[in-house]
Structure 1
Amino acid sequence: MESRMGGFGFKIYKKGVINLRPLLSANLERILKRLGNSDLISLLTKQISSSDLNTLLLKVFNEKVKMSSPSDLLKRYTENRFVHPAKVDALQLKQLELEILKIAMNHGVSPIQLSPVAPLGCTSVVGTVDQNKVISALRGTEVVSDATNLISLHIADLIKYNKYSRKDYLRFSTTHRHVRAQYFGDTPGMLAHFHLFCMVTSGVDQGSYEFEIKSLWEHIKVYQEIFKSLFNSKIEVILSERGGYKDSAGLVSRITEYGYGLELDDVIISTGAAQKENQYYKGLQFTIKTVIEGREYYIGDGGYVDWTQKLLGTKKERLLISATGLDRLLL
C-alpha cells in the first residue's frame, strides 16, 4: 500500500504515519522568532496578493539557487526522498499502462494525459486532505498528488463553459505518477511517489440512484477485465457504507443487489464495515481485493465524492472516482 487502499488517497491507511504537525508548528515558531516578526505569515497571506507573493518567492528561490554549488545540488539529491527514481521496471510499467488504458477505452472511458502540476489547493479546497501532505509549488501550483482531483477540475471546466454536449456521462481515465508528502518512516510499501491508474465518471442525478449504480458497475467491469486478462485473477469488490447520503444503507443495498443481478464472472461481491465518520467518500466506498500468484492485494478503491457539486454550485452533480496502484503489481 501507499497511503490509502492501493496508494490512491489519503484517508484510510494510517499505520506508520508520522504526525508532523507538532514538529511543523515548533519549526515555524522558531523561524518567526529568528526573523523577529511573529506576524509574518499573516502579512504574507493577507496583506499581499497571490501574484505578489509568487513574485517574492520566485526572487527568494532565485537568490537561494545562486548561492548553491554543484556539491550542494548533489547533496540535496541524495537527501531528498522525493527525487529518486522508482524501483519499478520502467518498460514493464509503460507496457502495463498502455494495456490498462486500452482496456478502459474499450469500455468507453477516454484516456487523458494530465499535467504534472495542478492548481494550488487542488486536493484540499474541495476535499478533506491537509495541504501539508502535498508538495506546494510556485506560480499557483502544486505537484499532482491525486489525479482524480485534477480530472474533476477538468470536468467542471468542461461543464461550466459548455465545452461538450452533455447527453451522456463524462468518462476519463489516466495513468499518472503521484507524489505524496506525508512521511511513513520505514513502513514497507509506502512510497514517496508511485503510479496509479485512475478513472472518473461525471453525471447528473436522475433519481433512484441511477448514476450511482450504472457508473460504479462500469468501473468494476473495467477492473474485472484488467485483472482477468493481465493477471489471470479474480477480484473481490468490498462495498462499505459511508456518510453523506440521506440513505447510505439503502444506496449500498441497491448497488449490491444490482451487482448480483449482473452475474459477473470472476467478481466476488462482499460488504465491508460502515464508517460514517469518514468524510472523504459520500455514501459508499468500494475496495478492490485480488490474489496474484498466491499473494493477496488490497489494490484499489473508489467511491462517490461531492467535488463537482462544490465546484459548480449544484447538488445535482454526481461524481465517481476510483484508482488502483501499479507499482505494487510489478515490484
Structure 2
Amino acid sequence: MREGRIVNEVFWIRSFACLAVAVIHAVYTTLENYEGVISQLDEYILITIRFAAFFGTPAFVFISELLLARVYPNALPEDFFWKRVQYLLLPFIFMGIVFAFVTNDNWSDIGMDALLNVFAGNYTGYFILVIFQFYLLHYLFHRFLRKSDPKIILPAALLINVGYLACFNFIAFPENTVGAYMWERGYWLLFVGWIFYFTLGYYCGLHYPLIKEKIAHFKWSIVLLPLVSFIIMVFLVRTDLLTTVSSKRLDNIFYTIGVISLIALATHRFEKVPRPVLFISKHSFHIYLLHKIFLYYLPTIPGMPPLLYFVLALVYAVGTSILVSHILSSFRWSTYLIGKKLPVPNLIKT
C-alpha cells in the first residue's frame, strides 16, 4: 500500500470485522453443541452477540472499495486482476474443495459440495465472489462515479440495496428448488445486495480527509446510530417482524454503517495503530478463510458453561487459523492455497 494513502482506521475496521465473522461462527458452534441443554438466558445472550457481529462481512465490502478509491483514484494497475486471481480466487477454489472434504464422508457428496462451493459460493468464502464483482464494477464505472454527485448516487444505491434485500427478507420463496436456493442463500452472491457499501466505500475513499472531518463533527450522531439501529434490529427479531438471521438483513445496513463510523470515530486520533490490531489485520484473510474449519472439529466439553465455551471457541478458531497460516507461510506455494498476509505498516517484513 502506498504510504501516503494509508488509512489507519481501515486496520481497525478490518480487524474488528474479521473477528466479528469468527464470533458469528463461534456462537453458531456453541449453540449447536449445547442444543437442548443451554439455558434460555445463555441462548439469548449468545444470539444477541451474534446479531451484534453481523457488521463483519459488509464491512469488508466497504473497506475493499474504500482502499481501491483511495490507493488507485485514477486507474487500476495492469496486473491488478491477475494478482487477485492468484491470491484470492485460487485460495477460494482450494478452500472450497477442502470444505467439501471436511463436511462430507463419501465421494459423491464431496464432489457435489466441491462444485457448489466453487461455483455457487456455498461456503464461508462466498464473500470472495462478491468482492470480484465489485472489482469489475469499480473497473467499469469508477469514472462515472467520480463525475457523479454522491448526493444522488448514495441515496439511489441505498434504495436499490434496501429494496433488493426486502424482497428476500419479507417475500416467501417460490415452491421450487431454484427459488428455495435463491431465498436461502443464493441472493447473497449478487452485488445488488451489497451495492450501498460499495458506493459509500468509493466516496469515502475518494474524499477521505473530508470524511474524517465530518466524522469528528457529527460524533454524537455517530455514537447513537449503531446503538439505535441495533435496538431496532433486536425489536424486529423479538417481534418476529423480520426473522432473517444473517448479515443480509435490510436493517443491518444502517447498523453496519453505524459500527464502521463508530470505529472510525473512536480510532481516528491514534497516530499509530497498536501492534495487536495490525497483527490481526495482517492475518485477517487467513482468519476469515480458515477459522470455520477448525470450529468444525471442536468437540463439546462436558461441564463447561456455554458462554465460557463460546470464548474458548473464538480464541481457538482465531488462534489456530493464525498458527496454521504462519506454519504454511514458509512454503511459497501456500499463497495460492490460503492467500497472502495483508501488508501493514512496520509489520510488512515480519
| Higher-RCO chain (CA-CA 8 Å, sequence separation at least 6) | 2
Shorter-chain TM-score: which interval? under 0.3
Structure with higher Rg: it is 1
Q: Greater strand share, 1 or 2?
A: 1
TM-score, L = length of structure 2: 0.22
TM-score, L = length of structure 1: 0.22
